[in-house]
Amino acid sequence: MRKIMTAVVVAAALFPVQTGHAETTATATTTATAIPVAPYVDMGAWPTPVLSTMAKQGNVKSFTLGFVTSNGCKASWFAAYDPHTGWQRDEIDKLRAAGGDVKISFGGASGIELAYYCMTPAALAAEYDAVVKAYALKYVDFDIEGSAVADPATIARRSQALKILQDKNPGLKISLTLPVLPTGLTADGVNVVQQAKNAGVNLDLVNIMAMDYYQGPADQGAKAIAAAKATQAQMKTVLGISDDAAAWKKIGVTPMLGVNDSRNEIFLQKDARALVSFASSVHLGMLSTWEQGRDANACNGALYRCTNVAQSPYEFSKIFAGFNG
């Protein structure tokens, strides 16, 4: 997300944390079903978010966990924990036992994505695959923004690696999370999707970051809906989908709750309700938010931990939980 992750790295976190799941070899299968609501959780927040508690209190089952970045050509949770060892797998298993699941997101606004350090598609795919295996994932997300959305070398390498990854894990659902304007994806964003398609990747979703347009105050619910409509039209062309309903299933929308980084763009509860209503009317592929910890804190203060709007804890989460696909 454009909101920068805020990992607090303590000395103990610099060493791998063994969880007993490192030997997991299960692959994704075609049994993966759609997840209608999967708020992002900043796993770099301190103290580390307790996923099972967040799920119960926020009335949601599933989350998108951000972000896995790089430690050279090795996957890392924000240079603090080792995903190869299944860090936080116990909490993920609790979600699954309760009928939910997780997507793990690579990239984000902070840190450097693996595609910059792994210099071949095979090496890059191997790191992605190690994370998939460690967590028995059915869903992965790639948050591509900033300079990464316009970097030809990493886009090409990542696209080829995703094809390898999907071939190794039949049925693995892959989403691309990209910056957007109310008029749709930028040309760079469209190119990221096009390159993945050209590489043979079967994309589950194109998830738009409906936030931080830097266009001044306005109805943020209406802008998110406009961005979704524009992106759906773009994806019909890029992905070669003629059916509107099928194209809507390829779209995810992720607003930033409350005050955005732009400061004068504010996503309110009324905007959440409007977006959920629209998403239900078109049977959107997914709704998410940035970010569950901010919603839980329900506070005023630094944007990495507060929405800075009047709300009760998990109020936005409970609104979004009303979306069933």
Query: Which of the residues 145, 265, 291, 315 is marked catalytic?
Result: 145
Cβ-based burial of 201 (10 A; exposed 0-12, middle 13-18, buried ≥19):
buried
Tokens representing 191 are: 């190119």
Strands, E assignment, 34-87: 40-42, 63-70, 75-77
Cβ-based burial of 212 (10 A; exposed 0-12, middle 13-18, buried ≥19):
buried
Say if strands 75-77 and 63-70 run parallel, antiparallel, or are unpaired: antiparallel
**From its phi and psi, is residue 156 left (phi > 0), alpha (psi between -120 and 50) or beta?**
alpha
Q: Which ranges of 146-219 does DSSP label H, i.e. alpha helix?
A: 152-168, 187-198
Is 291 a known active-site residue? no
Three-state DSSP state, 188? helix
User: Which residues have a catalytic role annotated?
Assistant: 145
